[in-house]
Amino acid sequence: MFSIEEFIIAVFCCVDDALKRLSAAQPIRSRGFAPGLSDAEVLTMELVGEYQGIESDKGLWRYFHHHWLSLFPELPTRTSFVRQAANLWQYKQRLQHYLATQLGAFDEDVHLVDGLPMSLCCLTYAARCRSFQGEASYGYCAAKDEFFYGFRGHLSISVSGVITGFALTPANGDEREALWEVIPGIRGLLIGDKGYLSQPLHEALLPSGVNLQTAMRSNMKDARPKDWVHCLQTFRRLIETVNGQLAERFHFERIRARDLWHLTSRIARKLLAHTLCCWLNRQQERPLLQFDGLLAD
């Protein structure tokens, strides 16, 4: 259990060490002056803010400017901070993959996959929405039994709950096609819901070492043993837990961006924040998905 200051320091140490390893062969910047606020400091501010539920860039900057300027004395203007943070989107993705690898997520034999809605605005305003025109679309979320306008995220996790892949499509995107973007690096059993039900897809995945198993529709006969089906359903609850953490703690289903550049950066930092919490729990010998007790009250 960390105090808030200890938490900030722990996050910085993790990010700074990983960033140095990832940029050892090729520096992040090949030309120009280094920014006053280091990239590791920027990422630390973003990740600490995400854990605390501060989802807006303005809110992040104001929080650290008012409370932690002593730890980040080179904090620039809000515009410069937001620009520097957005420019690091690739390194957020690489850091997330690096930490997931350190946690052994890609070595596990069981993974789960699911989709989650990312609403751009309420349906009544969708026809007048100017953001992401030609990119967002209308879709249906079976879990919530509602239609929405925006995007759909496609998430894969290991059986321990660590995120191993993510893809973004319009809300009406085919889950089975998006599956190919989230499975690189994993092998073994892959558990999905009915949206991934497809015998041709199952057969196409087998040569890559992935055995896709899904629930059957109510009008279909399931020849698999009942104990096996029950086991699959039990595993499915885990990804619902991760989806819930992303939606509730990290506000993943809200889109507070107006272009794909900033949206990609925001998604990457939320996925990284979730994986970092798992990594910190591992260091503290706590359950990986027990995020609530990381900070002392």
Other beta carbons within 10 Å of 68 = 17
Q: So what's the pLDDT on residue 145?
A: 84
Q: So what's the pLDDT on residue 123?
A: 85
Q: So what's the pLDDT on residue 235?
A: 84
Taking CA atoms, 198 is separated from 117, 139, 151, in Å, by 22, 20, 23
Q: Which residue has the tokens 């991760």?
A: 242
Strand partners for 267: none
Tens of pLDDT, residue by residue over 113-159, are 998 999 988 888 888 888 888 899 999 988 788 899 999 999 999 99
H/E stretch holding 265: helix 260-283
Residues 6 or more apart whose CB falls under 8 angstroms from that of 246 comprise 116, 155, 252, 253, 270, 274
Transcribe 57-89 into DSSP letters: HHHHHHHHHHH-TTT-TT---HHHHHHHHHHTH
Residue 114 C-alpha from the chain's centroid: 12
Q: What is the mean pLDDT of each run of 10 residues along the chain (297 residues)?
A: 93 96 82 85 96 91 95 94 94 97 96 92 85 90 87 94 96 91 92 88 93 85 84 87 93 87 94 97 94 86
H/E stretch holding 12: helix 4-22
User: Using CA atoms, how far apart are residues 149 and 107, in angstroms rounded to an integer?
Assistant: 36
Q: Would you say 55 and 251 are in contact if contact means Cβ atoms under 8 Å apart?
A: yes
